[in-house]
Amino acid sequence: MEALVYTPSIEIVSSQEFQEAWAWFLDYISTDQTLVEEHGYYFDHKHWHYPDSIKCIDECDNADLYLARLYLVSQLTSVSDYLSNIKNNTFTFNLSYSSNQLDEDVARVINAQETENHLSAFRNSLSEHLAYWAILASIIKVPGYQDFSIAKPNLQPEDKGPDGLACIVSNDLSIIKIISIKNSINSPLDLISSSSFRNNSEIDLNGKKILDEFYAFQTRNRGFQRLDDKLNTLLQELNQDTDNQIRWILLNHHSQFNASIIADEKYANHNLFEGFNRVSNRPIRCIGIFVGSENWKDLADNVQIKVKDILTAKRISF
């Protein structure tokens, strides 16, 4: 067996920079949930609470820089590399990279430009990572868990399968968060559900609508295998029983559906998640998350610039 060759790594985000970004995100993000009885779900409308004001995320000082750091951490390394730092609030993790050339799949996303149809691969990717950090912060800030693990966001936004999965272990029971994420610079309503679904009619599985797909999972087992594979990995990380029957019970009876929306604040509305009660008749299993910006497109563009600036300063080609 050949000896391993040591390659000097390049520090991209220091432990202090990571801690600073995470502390801002965690300390100020809201976790309040409002029961929307009409549609049978809890609305988790994210804001950043300061002593003198409540702000949208892009109204916070240095939001683009902090989000750029968090994006690079969750994009370029494994969750297990830094999750213990977050759980124990002790930061020793430095994001380092072993090459001065960024992985081409990641570089393709970071370099993505707006298309003629106003689509952006980077904005889509950032939305998945932003929702990931928001859910991670919510888990940390709500007491009562013994341990938890969470799956890494997709490498590229078009990757198949669920956008995210988290497993929370407590004394009473375990909760499996099934996470689906959409973002839009326009009204996100038609990304959340089809008009036929909202009218209590047929579901539409061609457009990848969040609630339609949650309903298909519940009633048709659609997408079960991908979720089961992710859950198996999370349970192993938590040293929990990975028996296939236990996994089936967890996904079918202990799952919580998290529909996460990243969009302009002006589109935030309880009626966005109309029909959520078709997915489950227990509101506690249905969570509608909305992270609003004054201008989501501008925020994503600014974060993209900061990501490029950080990599350029570290002389990493992309």
272-309 pLDDT, tens digit per residue, is 999 999 999 999 999 999 999 999 999 999 999 999 99
Q: Report how far residue 3's alpha carbon sits from residue 63's, in angstroms, rounded to the nearest whole number.
A: 44
Report d(CA 29, CA 48) in Å as an integer: 5
210 falls in which pLDDT band (50, 70, 90)?
Answer: very high
Instruction: Dump pLDDT digits (tens) for 34-65.
Output: 999 999 999 999 999 998 999 999 999 999 99
- Average pLDDT (93-120) is 91
Indicate whether 149 belongs to any domain.
yes
Contact 12, 96 (CB under 8 A): yes
Q: What is the pLDDT of residues 143-155, one digit of tens each?
A: 888 999 999 998 8
Burial of 113 (0-12, 13-18, 19+ CB in 10 A): exposed
pLDDT (0 to 100) of residue 220: 87
Residue (of 210, 206, 112) closest to 157 by Cα position? 112
Which of 217-231, 260-274, 293-307 has the least mean pLDDT? 217-231
Query: Is residue 130 assigned to a domain?
Result: yes
Residue 201 forms part of a structural domain: yes
Query: Structural domain of residue 111, as residue ranges?
Result: 10-313
Domain count, the chain: 1
In tens, the pLDDT along 245-258 reads 989 899 988 999 99
Which pLDDT does position 6 carry in this prediction? 54
Quick check: is 269 in a domain?
yes
Instruction: For residue 139, tell me if it sits in a domain.
Output: yes
For the chain, what percent of residues have pLDDT higher than 70? 95
How is residue 285 annotated by DSSP? G
Cβ 206 vs Cβ 194: under 8 Å:
no
As a whole-number percent, the residues of the chain with pLDDT over 90 amount to 77
169-191 in b/e form (b: 16+ CB < 10 A) is beeeebbbbbbbbbbbbeebbeb
Q: For residue 318, is it within any domain?
A: no
Question: How buried is residue 25: exposed, middle or buried, by Cβ count under 10 Å (0-12/13-18/19+)?
Answer: buried
- pLDDT value at residue 297: 97
Q: What is the pLDDT of residue 207?
A: 74
Segments of 89-238 assigned E as strands = 95-97, 145-150, 164-170, 174-183
Q: Is residue 24 in a domain?
A: yes
In a domain, residue 206? The reply is: yes
